[in-house]
Structure 1
Amino acid sequence: MADLEGMKNGEINYIPDRLIADPVVFRGMTDSEVVFIVITSLMFWIPVSVLILMPFGFSIFGVAIGSGLTIGTLILAGKQLTRIKRKQPDGLHIVFFKRQLQRKGLARFGFIDESSSWDIRRSSPVERIKVATEEEDSYS
C-alpha cells in the first residue's frame, strides 16, 4: 500500500498548526472580533444618529442610519485589521492594540517603550581601599 501524503508507516507525521485557532469569519476577522466591533459600533452610532435627527422629528430613522453606519464601520475595521494582521503570528495584533493604548496613556500594560541607559553619576573614578585580611594581620 502506498503511503499517503502526511502519513508515514500508517501514522500521521504532522500536526496542523491552526487546529485550535479561531476560524476567520469576515474580512480576516474572527467571530469574537466581529461581535466586538458590531456591539461597540452599535452602542456608538445609534445614539449619535438618533440625537442628530431628533430635532428634525426623524429620530426613528436614526436607528436605521446607525445600523447602516455599523455595517460600514465593520467593513472599514475589517480592512484595517486585515492590514494590521498581515504577515504576523496569530494574536500579535492584540499586543499591537495594547501598545497603542499604552502609548496614548489610556491604559498601562507594562510594555517598555523607551530606551535609556544608566549612569553612575560620578565625575572621578573610585579609589580602591586596600583592606588587610586576617592572614596579613597575623604576619605583622
Structure 2
Amino acid sequence: FYIIILLCLMIFLFSVVVGAPVRVMGYRGERVDIRCTYESGYESNSKYLCKGECNFGNKVIVVKSGSPAEDQRFSLSDDRTARVFTVTITELRTEDEGQYWCGVESTGTDVYSEILLLVRLGKFGAIRVTGTGGRRRISASYLVFTK
C-alpha cells in the first residue's frame, strides 16, 4: 500500500500539468507553429517539446532551447517578454500527428501543457470559371485540393 502512495507522489513531484489540451492543426507539406505559454519566473528556464507520454525518464524530446533539434524540421524560439515559446515544424508529415507536451524545466518539477497536433492532407478551395461563347454564357465551379 505504501509503495503505491510513494509511486503516486513521485509521479506528481516530477511533473505538473497545466490546463486542458490545446488542439493545433496543420497541413501536410506546410509549416505549423505550436505556441506554448508559461508563467512568470520561468523566463530563464530551459524549454522543450516532447512527443508521446513524456514520462519522467522516458522523454522523447524533439527540440529543446539552446540545442539544435535532431530533426532539422523542428525549431524552438522563446519570447521571454511575452512568456511564450514557439516550436515551428516545417514540411509537416502525417506521422508528426499526435500528442506532444510543451515542457518547462524546473527544479524537481517540470511544468507541462498538452498539445494535440492534427495533420490534414491539404486545403480545399473553390474556383469559379466563367466564359462567354456567342450568346451563351457558361459558368462552372470546381473544388480544388492543394498539396
TM bracket (short chain): under 0.3
Q: Which has the larger radius of gyration?
A: 1
Relative to its length, the structure with more strand (as a share) is 2
> With structure 1 as the length reference, what TM-score do the two structures score?
0.22
Relative to its length, the structure with more helix (as a share) is 1
Larger relative contact order (Cα-Cα within 8 Å, sequence gap ≥ 6): 2
